[in-house]
Amino acid sequence: MAQFSHTWWGKRFITALEQFTDPNRLRRGLSYANGSRIIDYTLTNGTVKASVRGSINPYFGVYKEPIYKTTITIKAITATDWTKVIQQIASRADLVTKLLMNEMPDTIEDAFSGLDLHLLPHSQHDFKTTCSCPDYANPCKHIAGVYYLLASALDHDPFVMFELRGLSRNDLHTELARSPLGQILASALVPHDIPVEPVESYYTRPTSEQATDVTNHKEFWTGAKRLPPLLNTTSQANVPALLIKKQGDYPPFWYKDVSFISTMEELYNRIRTKSKQMK
């Protein structure tokens, strides 16, 4: 069975329908949507129109497959309320950025709830539906099947919900781009091509600079400022005796863990320091 709501906004649309619609009728509509019984489907000016194949039922004298005409219209938001909603959206960078990038923010309902409005269906009064079938209940299984195709359309393009509420994608982008925050974000989203400027050579050409005046030869060689004095570094003591170095770090008579040569170097260093102090 195909899944008609795999995005979060498509699932929310079906969840909203389940809150005020008979679940059994929705499931019958799902079988119609999966069974390819909806042969024609259009969305124009916020109204969904579809042609649905009915069932043959000899018990009721139906011997030929009927074709029923269904329409679904969701209650549109007034132009005045849309102006208020757009002001709410334009005050938040996270909403403006995603909408200008043709993405649906998962917190989009926040801009509507503060004004006591809803983008997704909130009650059965948001819908105006008709069907030419003899079923007196609303929604019938034919309308319920179109509901699932509408959820599939929302999966592919979440801005269909805006159109159903009376605002097209282009009008939404235009209004958001006019806001101060929208102007900044819209300019950042537009790619700017860096013009290519030709150069004479790919290599750096040498340039000439005027030499500074030198008063005397000493200043020329030593510089205008005196160099800092060199730091006195203590030289490490070395053992020049070949006899000691020849024994290696661990000769046979040496039973300590430290190196024999390093020990002798330390001893020589102590003697040398002590001899300097006695002078």
**pLDDT at residue 23 tops 70:** yes
DSSP 120: S
Residue 1 — pLDDT band, cuts 50, 70, 90?
very low
Q: Which of 48, 52, 99 minimizes the C-alpha distance to 72?
A: 48
3-state SS record for 260-274: HHHHHHHHHHHHHHH
* pLDDT tens-digit map of 129-188: 999 988 887 888 899 889 888 888 888 888 888 998 999 888 998 888 888 888 887 666
* pLDDT tens-digit map of 254-277: 777 778 778 888 877 877 777 666
Return d(Cα 88, Cα 115) in angstroms, integer: 9
Return d(Cα 216, Cα 142) in angstroms, integer: 104
DSSP 136: -
Is the Cα torsion angle 176, 179, 181, 186 positive or negative in sign? positive
**pLDDT at residue 78 tops 80:** yes
* Count of CB atoms situated within 10 Å of the CB of 52: 27
pTM: 0.59
* pLDDT tens-digit map of 89-106: 998 888 988 888 888 888
Q: Which of 152, 120, 150, 124 minimizes the C-alpha distance to 139?
A: 124
In Å, what is the CA distance from 183 to each residue of 6, 168, 192?
A: 33, 19, 15
pLDDT-wise least confident of 23-32, 120-129, 147-156, 246-255: 246-255
